Chains A and B, each alone.
Chain A
Amino acid sequence: MQVIAQRPKSLRDIPFTYCPGCLHGVAHRLIAESMDELDIRNKTMGVAPVGCSVFAYKFFDCDMAQAAHGRAPAVATGMKRSRPDMCVFTYQGDGDLAAIGTAEIVHAANRGENITVFFVNNAIYGMTGGQMAPTTLPGMKTSTSPYGRDADDIGYPIKASELLATLEAPYYIERVSLLSPQEILKAKKCVHSALKYNKEKRGFTFIEFISTCPTNWGIEPIKSRDWARENMLKFFEIGCFRDKSKTVEGGK
């Protein structure tokens, strides 16, 4: 018998706590597969955020910290500075990273901390039940923007990748989509690159996943991907915003 597909070693054999149709499981798997391929599982530490992925500290098969809301990049800084020999990553949602944790992500990126930040953007607060996120689209209805996000009143969604790309230090910043198998395969390459650069201690790396929230959007999983394609990708453009391996000599 030949094994053709199995759970990556870097994911533990315990059930996810995510809703049916949620893409967190896909994002987790891409990270875990890349950890396996780069053979860094045994010298990697991760930081879980507050949000739907709060239990990520249980899911990855490496040592993990659970951080206060928004503080994951600061916690990761303390970890990386303590163990520069290890790879450190954070996994954060849009409320965690682009609202309450704005200062921490900007300054960790600005210091060029040798960490990888995985940012899952689904334009809504999932865990608390569907409130407006810093990435909620103009006009989009949530439980705290019941008449649709009014950009004149509360501002426009924050484009985290573009914002961080204004800084000098970050080594690699790319926004990817999880909305179709083809896009997931492309995203996988980017996740792998980010962790490879991490392993090689090249600097701060950042992957933004465009994702969905069928439960709180109130749209069934497949249709929610269509909705995201039609609405989110127009505002959050897929692409690479920084890759110093292509601009700096020798990639260092």
Chain B
Amino acid sequence: MAQKVLMKGNEAVAEAAIRAGCRLYFAYPITPQSELIEYMAKMMPKVKGTFIQAESEVAAINMVYGASGCGRRVMTSSSSPGISLKMEGLSYIAGAKLPAVVVNIQRGGPGLGDIQPSQADYFQATKGGGHGDYRLIVLAPNSVQEFADMASEAFDLADKYRNPVMLLADGLLGQMMEPVEFKPAKTEEEIEKLNKQHYDWCMRTNEDGDDRHHHEINSLELDPNVLEKHVLSLHEKYKDIQKNEVRYEKINVKDDNEILCVAYGTASRIVKSAITELQKEGHSVGLVRPITVWPYPSEVIANSITKKTKKVIVFELSLGQMVEDVKLAVNGKLPVDFLGRAGGIVFTPDEVIAKIKESL
């Protein structure tokens, strides 16, 4: 068994990305993800990888576009205000069908906000953020271990679907230290094989004769009929992702649940503590934790409602964003209640317990 080490989430996800074969990383410093860029600055030269501290978030995401267009595993990371700057690039990456991994260590907003943990970028991550009809695959970890595990999963998903993947964490997961166990690092041979998997479309060397190709990395198409076909093909892909890649965790979801809670990421840990306390008092409360927040586990939430369930309550570190997806999933069958905190304030288990008790 591999050795467990105590690490911050920011460092763990960086280490896991390198182990997953990421050899190019471009980013701009921002709190609270500084340990991530610093870890990459330290470690990339040791694996003969590329680390560039870009002149801006905008430049960093466009470096990602270029590297991804060459079929390489490439990553960038930032925190909320910086992620906003990357949105133009993410739209281009999605439009050009490129694989890439982006980490968002969310902080309080809007604007410059603060540097405390938040989940206020949910809309931006799951509904768009950049222009045009596209989707990101969005994975939301709730522990340092899961954050690290998701790095390799994110690269695999990005490669499989040729689509950008976002790891949606927050300042708490980035800064918190927990024990983490890493998967073995990919060998140079394995990385070379990964690079070659994209050779039928990526930019690369050419040969005269039969092998001659002209690969274009592009999202421009002025003929609306052709562009519509392209967007429809993206949406066929998104349907496959919705069918195949929904991930979630059910905690104490039972037939006798009086209340069904929904929470993801850091918020889900606090809700889990709360329902464990309530269980001791004899209350049956379930929790569905979306692990992918896009594609969203709508059916799982709908199917977790039983005849005994009185209410669904959503807990978020925002003033209500995911609650809209839960309402769509519940589809009017039950009232959907909500507790959220903003500005980087994290609710306590007692606040969650009090909210649930209002309905018991």
* Chain A residues packing against B (C-beta within 8 Å): 12, 41-43, 45, 47, 54, 57-58, 61-68, 71, 74-83, 85-86, 103-104, 106-107, 111
Give 1 or 0 for each of B258-269: 1 = CB within 8 Å of chain A CB: 000000000000
Q: Is the CB of A82 within 8 A of B207?
A: no
Q: Is the CB of B56 within 8 A of A103?
A: yes
* Chain B residues packing against A (C-beta within 8 Å): 24, 26, 50, 52, 54-56, 58-60, 62-72, 74, 88-89, 92, 96, 202-208, 213-220
Q: Is the CB of A65 within 8 A of B69?
A: yes
Q: Is the CB of B207 within 8 A of A68?
A: no
- Interface-centre pick from B52, B68, B70, B92 (highest chain A CB count, 10 A): B70
Which residues of chain A are near B92, meaning CB under 8 Å?
A: 68
Q: Is the CB of B204 within 8 A of A83?
A: yes
Which residues of chain A are near B58, meaning CB under 8 Å?
A: 71, 74, 103-104
Q: Is the CB of B64 within 8 A of A78?
A: yes
Q: Is the CB of A68 within 8 A of B203?
A: no
Q: Is the CB of B204 within 8 A of A63?
A: yes
Q: A12-B214, A71-B62 are in contact. List 6 more A-B contacts (CB 8 A).
A: A41-B206, A43-B205, A68-B88, A68-B92, A79-B69, A106-B55
Q: Is the CB of A78 within 8 A of B89?
A: no
Separation in Å of the A22 CB from the closest CB of chain B?
18
- Which of A43, A75, A85, A103 contacts B206 (CB under 8 A)? A43
By Cβ-Cβ distance, the 8 closest A-B pairs, closest first, are A78-B66, A74-B62, A78-B63, A82-B70, A63-B203, A78-B67, A107-B55, A75-B66
B60 nearest in chain A by CB position: A74
A86 nearest in chain B by CB position: B205
Q: Tell whether A82 pairs with B72 under 8 Å between CB atoms, given A63-B214, A68-B92.
A: yes
Q: Is the CB of B216 within 8 A of A63?
A: yes
Q: Is the CB of A65 within 8 A of B217?
A: yes
23 contacts between A and B (CB under 8 A): A12-B214, A42-B208, A47-B66, A54-B220, A62-B214, A63-B215, A68-B89, A71-B59, A74-B58, A74-B60, A75-B69, A77-B26, A78-B63, A78-B70, A78-B74, A81-B50, A82-B71, A83-B203, A83-B204, A83-B205, A85-B205, A104-B55, A107-B55
- Which of B89, B204, B213, B217 contacts A66 (CB under 8 A)? B217
B51 nearest in chain A by CB position: A81
Q: Tell whether A78 pairs with B216 under 8 Å between CB atoms, given A42-B205, A62-B206.
A: no
Q: Is the CB of A66 within 8 A of B218?
A: yes
Q: Is the CB of B216 within 8 A of A57?
A: yes
Separation in Å of the B206 CB from the closest CB of chain A?
4
State in angstroms the CA–CA spacing of A66 and B97 once bound together.
13
Looking at chain A's contact residues, the main secondary structure is: helix
Q: Is the CB of A82 within 8 A of B66?
A: yes
- Which of A45, A80, A83, A103 contacts B59 (CB under 8 A)? A103
Q: Tell whether A81 pairs with B63 under 8 Å between CB atoms, given A42-B207, A65-B218, A86-B205.
A: yes
Q: Is the CB of A57 within 8 A of B218?
A: yes
Which residues of chain B are near A107, meaning CB under 8 Å?
A: 54-55, 59
Separation in Å of the A63 CB from the closest CB of chain B?
4
Q: Is the CB of A79 within 8 A of B70?
A: yes
A42 nearest in chain B by CB position: B206
Q: Is the CB of B203 within 8 A of A79?
A: yes
Q: Is the CB of A67 within 8 A of B62?
A: yes
Which residues of chain A are near B208, meaning CB under 8 Å?
A: 42
Separation in Å of the A116 CB from the closest CB of chain B?
15
Which residues of chain B are near A76, meaning CB under 8 Å?
A: 66
Which residues of chain A are near B54, meaning CB under 8 Å?
A: 74, 107
Separation in Å of the B134 CB from the closest CB of chain A?
14
A48 nearest in chain B by CB position: B218
State in angstroms the CA–CA spacing of A104 and B219 once bound together.
20
Q: Tell whether A67 pairs with B65 under 8 Å between CB atoms, given A42-B206, A43-B206.
A: yes
A17 nearest in chain B by CB position: B222
Q: Is the CB of B66 within 8 A of A77?
A: yes
Which residues of chain A are near B55, meaning CB under 8 Å?
A: 103-104, 106-107
State in angstroms the CA–CA spacing of A34 and B202 once bound together.
24
